Structure 1
Amino acid sequence: MHHRKLRRLLTVAGLAAGFAALAPALAASPADYPHKPITLIVPYSPGGTTDMAARALAENLSRQFQQPVLIENKPGAGGSMGVTEMTKAAPDGYRLTLAPVGIFRQPHLQPVRYDPIRDLAYIAAFMEYDFFVAVPADSPFKTMKDMVDFAKQNPGAVSYGTPGRFSGNHVVLAMLGTKYGAKFAHVPFKGDSDSTNSLLGGHLKTAVIANSIMPFMQAGKVRVLASAGDVVNPVFKAPTLRELGYDVFVPSPLGLAGPKGLPKPIVEKLDKAVKLALEDPNFKKLMDANGLRATYMDNEAYTQFAKKAFADEEKVVKNLGMETD
């Protein structure tokens, strides 16, 4: 009798423990998402173009979800700090990151602590950077042809600044030089602002800079000769390299990603919210003010892009091996 009673007590205790263990999972089911604040990692310093776009997106998502979306800046490691964080984040949608295109290039360059395909769930892309080839306002180079022809005739005489070796900016002129027999001299900096300052100070012949060059262009301090995008940026109005006859295209979409195993209903809920944010007039206004192009890819298209980009970047790195000085 005593043993039967003890077994019953143990059974009840076991069931209670099981329900207790299930309780958090039930409380945090995808249907209830989100029921607490979300953290969005921005893998760059505060105050930059990416940070501003991320904060605008976070503000919009906060309004949609009625939950705070908090920004956490983690610069360094070529913009890969956020995706590295995803390898140890719980797949519950409360810790997310921006995923710059450089994360697909880094694993082909050096050992990294993440696999961009295996370790991430791609939610949605919401904007695209452009890389602009800029020269000082008093530069003798009036067109890309002027600059490319000069670099062919004077190997190494055209110095160009970028925010670092193997950044997308670096790839633009490295690819152009390799394909068209022009030898440019790469000068890596820590970021676009340093590269811009050196260009304005007359220490560089040219620089490949993202959208942050806009105010200097508008002030008449630099001329933008071309972009490496697939379409003309409506604010900058510079022709694309492809339009000018140079087969150079460096895509750079920016999107939202989470850890692997993120439940599909949460991915789709976040994806839908990003799409709605892009339709918001205030969000559009901020993007236009910074010369950023809103470019939407849903979770399936973004996942396919990631797979292709990872494979393509391996080829880019191998083909540009001679241009990595």
Structure 2
Amino acid sequence: MQRRTWGAVACAVAALWATGAQAQANYPNQPITLLVPYAAGGTTDVLARALANSMGKLLKQSVIVENRPGAGGSMGVVEMLKTKPDGYKLTLTPVGIFRQPYLQKTPYDPIRDVTYIASFATYDFILGVSATAPHKTLKDLVDYAKKNPGAIDYGTPGKYSGNQVAMVLLGKAVGTEFVHVPFKGDAENVNALLAGHIKSSVSTNSIMTFIESGKVRPLAIASEQRSPAFPNLPTFKEQGYDVVVPSPLGVGGPKGLPQPIVEKLDAAVKAALQDPDFQRVVKNYGIRTDYRDAKTYTEFARTTFAGEKALVQSMGLND
């Protein structure tokens, strides 16, 4: 009797393995959801929709974008906690998800609870003011802020974002404080600047069109070197301020995502970067592609998560 029972169990387990293997082989056979942890209309949203479109063509399934703004860009990762590891719900994984656990209690562990699939782009943080503002250079803005503490505020697409990190670093470098005004996304942030509600803004590449139209005066970019999209815009470092904030962006899934599915999605991300439609969006927004495969991106996640603790402590973001 016991032998028959164990035999039945073994057959059931074998059937489950066979079913799982077949599902992985047929993946994907239904639409995939890609969560974007920012509001619609910003650079990340536009880039995600371009990536989703290109991946969909390659995977021969629709990749549907859902916006989940809030919590410093970590809402997508939070959603992974209750997502089946079948590859049909994924999320963008901004660098901020590695910072959040050191700032506040989070329900997720960015290493334990996420399967990292690939990174695909990096965008820049650009400090800008209205074209009508009196500050012509970064030095002008800094000098005014030092003489008038608390008088210069700046908008960002969210608290604890890389945008905020850039200005906290600048404030510490020059010995003054800039007042942070968080919004739900880049679109609201830039609109507030244009409407005169804030004196400055740290935006990603979505500000490019406003710079080209002459509505926004860029003062500095928080990259290691000048961006090809903004060749005349000096970095903070060039102007004497040690402010560099790298921001690669990738795709992740829930923990336990089977390796064959990871490999298919990784290959789709890599191939999508060569799609002319995706390249057109990247060029229009001045975004740089930045591909890391699953193994390299996973190692990046581990290293970055470990390093964020010291960054948060040194900046006093969690004070």
Contact 1:39-1:94 within 8 A present in 2 as well: yes
In the TM superposition, what is the alpha-carbon distance from 1:131 to its structure 2 partner? Answer: 0.9
Name the CA distance, whole Å, in 1 between partners of 2:100 and 2:318: 14
Contact persistence 1:165–1:324 (CA under 8 A): no
CA distance in 2, matches of 1:137, 1:18: 67
2:40 pairs with one of 27, 46, 50: 46
Shift of 1:9: 8.1
In structure 1, the partner of 2:101 is 107
Larger displacement relative to structure 2 (198-207 or 8-17): 8-17
Shift of 1:114: 0.5
In structure 1, the residue matched to 2:238 is 243
- Partner of residue 164, structure 2: 170
**Corresponding position of 1:59:** 53
**What are the Cα deviations for residues 170-212 of structure 1, in whole angstroms up to 9, with x where unaligned?**
1111111112213322233333333323322333321111222
Which AA in structure 1 matches 2:55? L
Structure-1 residue corresponding to 2:193: 199
- Aligned equivalents of 1:226, 1:70: Cα separation in 2: 35
The yes-or-no answer on 1:186 pairing with 2:180 is: yes
**Equivalences, count:** 318
State whether residues 226 and 241 of structure 1, in contact with CA within 8 Å, keep that contact through their aligned partners in structure 2: yes
1:217 matches 2:211: yes
CA RMSD, Structure 1 to Structure 2 (Å): 2.4
Does 1:153 find its partner at 2:152?
A: no
SS for the counterpart of 1:105 is: helix
User: What is the TM-score of this pair, normalised by structure 1?
Assistant: 0.88
- Give CA deviations for 1:217-257 in whole Å, capped at 9, x if unaligned: 12111111111122322223322112222111111111011
Q: 3-state SS of the aligned residue for 1:123?
A: strand
User: Which amino acid in structure 2 is aligned with residue 68 of structure 1?
Assistant: S
Mapped contact 1:42–1:82 kept (Cα < 8 A): yes
User: Shift of residue 152 of structure 1?
Assistant: 2.3
What are the ranges of 5 or more consecutive residues in structure 1 without an aligned counterpart? 1-5
Question: Residue 132 of structure 1 corresponds to which residue in structure 2?
Answer: 126
Q: Tell me what 2:79 maps to.
A: 85
Post-superposition offset of 1:278: 0.8
The structure with the largest alpha-carbon Rg is 1
Deviation at 1:259, TM superposition (A): 1.6
Aligned equivalents of 1:13, 1:140: Cα separation in 2: 79
Instruction: Answer with 180-189 or 133-142: which moved more.
Output: 180-189
CA–CA distance in structure 2, aligned partners of residues 18 and 300 of structure 1: 30
Which one of the candidate residues 279, 283, 286 is aligned to 1:288?
Answer: 283
User: Equivalents in 1 of 2:120, 2:273: separation in Å?
Assistant: 7
Please tell me whether the aligned partners of residues 134 and 222 of structure 1 are also in contact (alpha carbons under 8 angstroms). yes
Task: Letter of the 1:285 partner, please give it.
Answer: R
Which letter maps to 2:75? M
**1:279 matched residue in structure 2:** 274
Cα distance between partner residues in 2 of 1:268 and 1:63:
17
Distance 1:51 1:195, change over 3 A: closer
Match of 2:304 among 297, 309, 315: 309
Structure 2: which 5+ runs fail to align? none
Cα offset, 1:20, TM superposition: 4.2
AA aligned to 1:287 is V
Structure 2 match to 1:3: none
Identity, in percent, stands at 55
- 3-state secondary structure, aligned to 1:90: coil
Instruction: Show the counterpart of 2:226.
Output: 232
Q: Does 1:318 align with 2:313?
A: yes
Asked if structure 2 preserves the Cα contact closer than 8 Å seen for 1:149 and 1:182, the reply is: no
Bigger mean CA deviation after superposition, 194-203 or 220-229: 194-203
